[in-house]
Structure 1
Amino acid sequence: MNKPPLANQYEDDRHFITAIARGLDVLACFRSGNKVLGNQEIAQRCKLPKSTVSRITYTLTRLGYLTHDEESSKYQLGMATLSLGVGLLAKLDIRQVARPLMQTLADETQGMVTLGTRDRLSMLYLENCRSRSALTLSMDVGARIPIVSTAMGRAYLAEIPLQEREEIFGRVRELDEQASDALMVGIASSLSDYERLGCTCSFGDWQKDVNAIAVGLDLGRQFPVMAISCGGPSFHLSESFLLDEARPKLLDIVRRLKETVGQPA
């Protein structure tokens, strides 16, 4: 599901500064798999006039948030963008503790183990460990996946307060009311799974040939709510294997991470 431009979501809010939102929308276009973009591509993604995008990219380039390649007339993220995430990454030192635990599970399951948090209606990969097998999915840190159809997104939804969850559901319905009905059924089932199994499941819901389970990770107010998932191709990681073999180990990782920061398991 594509993320709606920030400016469009709050157009009736008199405290909302549309120009800033549009600039942030432009920066958000540069995802893991789209490192170089032209004004036309950005305009299509942000649903803005090309002339408006040209002024925004010019401004962001002058400030160092984008760099411009004269030969191709395209842009990529500049070094100033890195400074925006430094404070958050400093808070996420938990990744250093999680990484070896995640890599062990990835090797044991020959799957992919990922730590992520929410970015609007997506889950953003913060850490990703693959097995040394060639069977894992090709996705890197910085990649985004849907929040409503993936195990990771559903685990995040199960972990957050009801009010925040309902707000997200409302935004999903605004985007596609018809499709959201089916998605809500899947989410309701996942919330039930979370109560019963301690994890959420997505067996072919996101991509028909991908199975995954996930557990929410709430480490207290100094961290964003996160989720850890374990998954991979369905022909390699069956539902029973993930639930019987991977689930206890995934729950143990969450328990150990909570103990690291002094949170009750």
Structure 2
Amino acid sequence: MRKRASTASAEEPGEDRQFVAAIARGFDILHAFRAEDPILGNQELAERTGLPRATVSRLTHTLTRLGYLTYLPRFGKYQLGLAAVPLGQLALANMGVRRMAAPLMRQLAEETNASVSLGKRDGLAMLYVEHVSPRTAVALQLEIGSRVPLCVTAMGRAYYAAAPEEERAALEAELEERHGGDWPRIREGLNEALRMLPRLGFTVSPGDWNPTVHAAGAAVMLPGGEVMALNCGAPAFMLDRERLTGEIGPRLAAVARRLESLAGGTVRAA
């Protein structure tokens, strides 16, 4: 299992005296939980965060005392506690772009019979902050709070292609270190996104993340330079590459431009 890059590792001696590494390590623990892995033990948390087992034990004890984790004696493991819920709800409530995006996303999902999501970067992943599924039996099993890899998904590639050059360079260095021998293939997909986004307004991931899923992605430039991204995807048998590039991508790009207009953002120059 690949470990998550520790937030605390950002601190080097003398680099940032205002940075509190102990707090960062606590958030590393909370960020290790996923919708698909809601229950984790200290060993699993140590593997995911790269923190020593003894440090993890102290952090989980403290976070449990504060209510941010709940200990499950039956399993000898932890899950996120109720104290974490208001923080996420408040963050989402303060994200006005979600309210503007939701009706546009709903309309696109119903008209294309595909799932539509809005996300923002979370390390080397994209975090879903809004998600709409079509009213069909066949839909992607993802929801708000899901994380998908930045480097091989349509949403992540759209974000990467719209990000400032210095951020892209930092991402590339971290991705190369993380993925090793897979980096040349990953870089090829990112380079394709760099070519596609300015020219077409969208990117694609035809099975690159999951061979059974095809998706298009589009960046959303918000006021102040914040970058978010949309995706629209469906099972591959419902969404071939021709439809992906000829219909879904252009329609998703149009939704992104409409959302930018509503939010008062600007489109990055090609």
Q: Which segment is superposed worse, 230-239 or 47-56?
A: 47-56
Tell me what 1:189 maps to.
192
Aligned partner of 1:145: which letter? Answer: V
Aligned partner of 2:138: which letter? Answer: L
In the alignment, the residues of structure 2 paired with residue 53 and residue 201 of structure 1 have an alpha-carbon distance, to the nearest angstrom, of 39
Tell me what 2:240 maps to.
238
In the alignment, the residues of structure 1 paired with residue 54 and residue 262 of structure 2 have an alpha-carbon distance, to the nearest angstrom, of 50
Shift of 1:106: 1.2
Shift of 1:259: 2.0
Query: Are residues 1:140 and 2:147 paired?
Result: no
Shift of 1:96: 1.7
**TM-score (normalised: structure 1):** 0.91
Q: Which segment is superposed worse, 5-14 or 85-94?
A: 5-14
Tell me what 1:169 maps to.
172
SS of the counterpart of 2:238?
Answer: coil
Tell me what 1:258 maps to.
260
Tell me what 1:7 maps to.
8
CA contact (8 A) 1:65 1:77 kept: yes
Sequence identity (%): 42
Q: How many residues align structurally? A: 264
SS of the counterpart of 1:37?
Answer: coil
SS of the counterpart of 1:169?
Answer: helix
Shift of 1:7: 3.0
Tell me what 1:75 maps to.
78
Q: Structure 2 unaligned runs (5+)?
A: none
In the alignment, the residues of structure 2 paired with residue 260 and residue 176 of structure 1 have an alpha-carbon distance, to the nearest angstrom, of 38
**TM-score (normalised: structure 2):** 0.89
Shift of 1:21: 2.3
Shift of 1:70: 3.6
CA contact (8 A) 1:213 1:247 kept: yes
Equivalences for 1:145-224 in 2 at 5 Å? 145-221=148-224, 224=226
CA contact (8 A) 1:117 1:227 kept: yes
SS of the counterpart of 1:79?
Answer: coil
SS of the counterpart of 1:176?
Answer: helix
In the alignment, the residues of structure 2 paired with residue 179 and residue 150 of structure 1 have an alpha-carbon distance, to the nearest angstrom, of 15
In the alignment, the residues of structure 1 paired with residue 232 and residue 14 of structure 2 have an alpha-carbon distance, to the nearest angstrom, of 39
Query: Are residues 1:47 and 2:50 paired?
Result: yes
In the alignment, the residues of structure 2 paired with residue 71 and residue 11 of structure 1 have an alpha-carbon distance, to the nearest angstrom, of 39
SS of the counterpart of 1:186?
Answer: helix
CA contact (8 A) 1:156 1:227 kept: yes
Runs of at least 4 residues off by over 6 Å? none
SS of the counterpart of 1:145?
Answer: strand
CA contact (8 A) 2:157 2:203 kept: yes
Indicate which of 88, 95, 107 corresponds to 1:104: 107
Shift of 1:100: 1.8
In the alignment, the residues of structure 2 paired with residue 55 and residue 168 of structure 1 have an alpha-carbon distance, to the nearest angstrom, of 31
Shift of 1:256: 2.0
Shift of 1:41: 2.2
User: Please, what is the CA RMSD of the aligned residues?
Assistant: 2.1
Query: Are residues 1:130 and 2:122 paired?
Result: no
Shift of 1:23: 1.2
In the alignment, the residues of structure 1 paired with residue 88 and residue 13 of structure 2 have an alpha-carbon distance, to the nearest angstrom, of 29
Shift of 1:200: 0.7
Tell me what 2:122 maps to.
119
Q: Structure 1 unaligned runs (5+)?
A: none
Indicate which of 215, 225, 228 corresponds to 1:226: 228
Encode CA deviations 1:147-201: one digit per residue, 9 max, x unaligned.
1111100100111111111111111112233221221111111110112211011
Q: Which segment is superposed worse, 73-82 or 115-124?
A: 73-82
Query: Are residues 1:93 and 2:96 paired?
Result: yes
